[in-house]
Structure 1
Amino acid sequence: MEIKIDFHWQLTQHGKPHHIDDILFQMLEAIQQEGSLKQATDKLGVSYRFAWGLLNKWEALLGQPLVILERGRGARLAVVGEKLMHANRHLSASFSPELDNFSTELKREFEAILDHSPRDTFKIFTSHGLAVGALKELIDQQSDFLLDLHFHGSQESLKALKAGDCHIAGFHLPIGELRRHLMTDYLKLLDEKQHQLIYVVRRNQGLMVPKDNPKQISDLSSLTEEGVTFINRQMGSATRTLFDQLIAAHNISSDDIKGYSHEEFTHMAVAAMVASGAADIGFGIAPIADKFNLEFIPLVWEHYCLAVPQLLVDDPRVQAIISLLKSNAFYRKVKDYKGYDTARSGQLVSFDEIFA
């Protein structure tokens, strides 16, 4: 059984509801990326006639053009089309992780009710990341247990592990001097004698800026320039703590950063805000910047690891996770993620290797 909880758009006019199919948002995304209606239809595998009819339908209902077609110059999104696309991106980026959590929980509960012999479940709390998402896909495809995956901040995940609320916790930690603040917090929740660390990926965090970098942002000092707006991660997240450590190391006051108090809860939500023009700079991971067609300015590498109780290391489910992290299938899923290094994926690593 698979359960997918999603949101949808509905436009109501004169008391009549009109459901906006996801294909419209896919079409707007493709037109923005390809700059051509014909290339957009080829990318989506739909006919030109279908696309033309789809756009005409919604332009008539909204009373505004969604796309501007110019002879010899291709296609580009009109103001309303661009607003729709960015709004959908932001909603998806903001709510998808939480909806995925609900989907996983409901799936577990329904299987327990409907199946007399439900699949064994294994609960992971972890910071949201593309690599662990790829791991879940492989487990769902190749393993006989259900991975009950919940996305939370690194520290919240480690607290859940210590409290016995999950089997494994995922966390990320910067490499170098910047690790010290987070390391202190993490080591209050981990014990080298009781926990084993499993390496997932090494990844890069940095600044995400609009394509072509119109405000010529070069490094952290650009955050305080006039006319530059930042979008932050939420207080308590490891990414927020890392960012705060970075600006402190560069003697930058948060009071001098316009938008510092404006927060989002995921890398994708931050990227969506930058892509929409609501902010000029965000802080996050490279592949998310790439996904939203943003430029990325790398600043710091970090470890992304799983912590598991020593007593569970030989558990077949943990061994399956380790094997999948080492597999060619996992490598193929993440090899194109910019700023990701899988050289140590699946290795059992010591506390000294990560925290010392």
Structure 2
Amino acid sequence: MNNNSSYTIEEVSQLLKISKLTVYDLIKKEELVAFRVGRQMRVDQQDLERYKSKNRTGIVQEDNYFSAENKVSQNNNKQVVISGQDVVLDMLSKYIEKHTSLTPLRSYNGSLNSLVSMYNGECDIVSVHLYDGDTGEYNLPYVKRLLVSQPFILINLVCRNAGIYVKQGNPLNIKGWSDLAQSQITIVNREKGSGARVLLDEQLRIHGISADSLRGYENDLTSHFSVASAVASGQADAGVGIENVAKMVNVDFIPLIKEQYDLVILKTKENLQLLKVIKEAVSSKEYRSQLEQLNGYDLSVTGKIIFES
């Protein structure tokens, strides 16, 4: 923890012993005051103490900092939490910040964990890439199960090439999912709740491979970049991820599936403006031209409504 007069979101979560998503939710509900420094949100020490005091006594003492001007500013800038890890979401966040009065906040959770957070009211926009081995379909089976009681809209953002990272030259001649079970191959995995972990687990189930037979299955990391970096540095022979990251880390990539990367937004009165903003963003020339600069992405169905309940 630092000795400054303000704290990062992570530091606030540690001090209050709550998750970072809960901190974002408190900020979104205007129960905790935050300010932006570049892309980072911070909370003043005095505002954190005010929040703690309010929840101990139910009384908030007025001070000069919490002025009428600050109150108006907060009320006019609705904050929206966007959960997911792909760079296309960072680009979307910048578009929203540039073209609307909304204030986007980023949460870097995996697909399943993001959906659970949305179910708990902690996220406004969630990205998903969850493969269902029984139907061969992406996302909708999972979203329907988790948001069974809530109306939602599923919009495609991009499609991406997913597959296996291997060392340059592919010295172990890895060609597909079944090769990962070879005794001489060590993999590095993604964390539970991530789309890449779901993809691997479903492919193992389809091919009749036990997870216990994969050397390194229990070694997990929290991003495509860290998985590719582990392969590049020789810590592992292979890992599951997306093509775009392979170009950054100098590993070879074996494309095995084109995955659907969709956005989930709840259909509520409060989200009417948000839904309009997202539809406009994904159809805009400005945002799409940025997406076209990325490797391994397909925009052929970008903006398509996959499902609406």
Deviation for aligned residue 1:245 = 0.8
Cα 1:181/1:136, change in 2 over 3 Å: closer
CA displacement, residues 24-51 of structure 1 (integer Å, 9 cap, x when unaligned) = xxxxxxxxxxxxxxxxxxxxxxxxxxxx
Tell me which residue corresponds to 1:218: 175
SS in 1 for 2:93: helix
Q: Structure 2 matches for 1:56-205, cutoff 5 A?
A: 107=36, 116=70, 117-118=73-74, 120-174=77-131, 177=134, 179=136, 184-191=141-148, 194-205=151-162
Q: Which of 166, 187, 196 is equivalent to 1:209?
A: 166
Cα 1:125/1:155, change in 2 over 3 Å: farther
CA displacement, residues 94-140 of structure 1 (integer Å, 9 cap, x when unaligned) = xxxx8xx99x9653565996862135133234231122122112223
Cα 1:290/1:234, change in 2 over 3 Å: same
Quote the Cα distance in structure 1 between the aligned partners of 2:177 and 2:219.
Answer: 17
Tell me which residue corresponds to 2:295: 338
Tell me which residue corresponds to 1:307: 264
Tell me which residue corresponds to 1:275: 232
Question: Which range moved further: 243-252 or 343-352?
Answer: 343-352
Q: 2:214 aligned with 1:257, yes or no?
A: yes
Deviation for aligned residue 1:312 = 4.5
Quote the Cα distance in structure 2 between the aligned partners of 1:259 and 1:161.
Answer: 31
Deviation for aligned residue 1:210 = 1.7
Q: Where do 5+ consecutive residues of structure 1 fail to align?
A: 6-97
Tell me which residue corresponds to 1:22: none
Quote the Cα distance in structure 2 between the aligned partners of 1:152 and 1:204.
Answer: 20
Contact 1:208 1:284 in 2 (8 A): yes
Contact 1:175 1:302 in 2 (8 A): no
CA displacement, residues 262-295 of structure 1 (integer Å, 9 cap, x when unaligned) = 1101111111111111111010111011111221
Contact 2:138 2:259 in 1 (8 A): no
Name the aligned partner's letter for residue 170 of structure 1. S
Quote the Cα distance in structure 2 between the aligned partners of 1:143 and 1:211.
Answer: 44
Deviation for aligned residue 1:141 = 2.7
Q: Max radius of gyration: which structure?
A: 1
Q: 2:226 aligned with 1:294, yes or no?
A: no
Q: Which of 230, 235, 252 is equivalent to 2:192?
A: 235
Cα 1:124/1:350, change in 2 over 3 Å: same
Cα 1:226/1:106, change in 2 over 3 Å: farther
Q: 2:223 aligned with 1:266, yes or no?
A: yes
Q: CA RMSD in A?
A: 3.4
Contact 2:191 2:221 in 1 (8 A): yes
Aligned length: 258
Deviation for aligned residue 1:181 = 9.8
Deviation for aligned residue 1:192 = 8.3
CA displacement, residues 195-219 of structure 1 (integer Å, 9 cap, x when unaligned) = 1122211122100112222222211
In percent, how many aligned pairs have the same letter? Answer: 27
Cα 1:309/1:186, change in 2 over 3 Å: closer
Quote the Cα distance in structure 2 between the aligned partners of 1:304 and 1:257.
Answer: 27
Contact 2:165 2:239 in 1 (8 A): yes
Quote the Cα distance in structure 1 between the aligned partners of 2:291 and 2:237.
Answer: 28
Tell me which residue corresponds to 1:348: 305
Quote the Cα distance in structure 1 between the aligned partners of 2:246 and 2:135.
Answer: 22
Quote the Cα distance in structure 1 between the aligned partners of 2:301 and 2:173.
Answer: 35
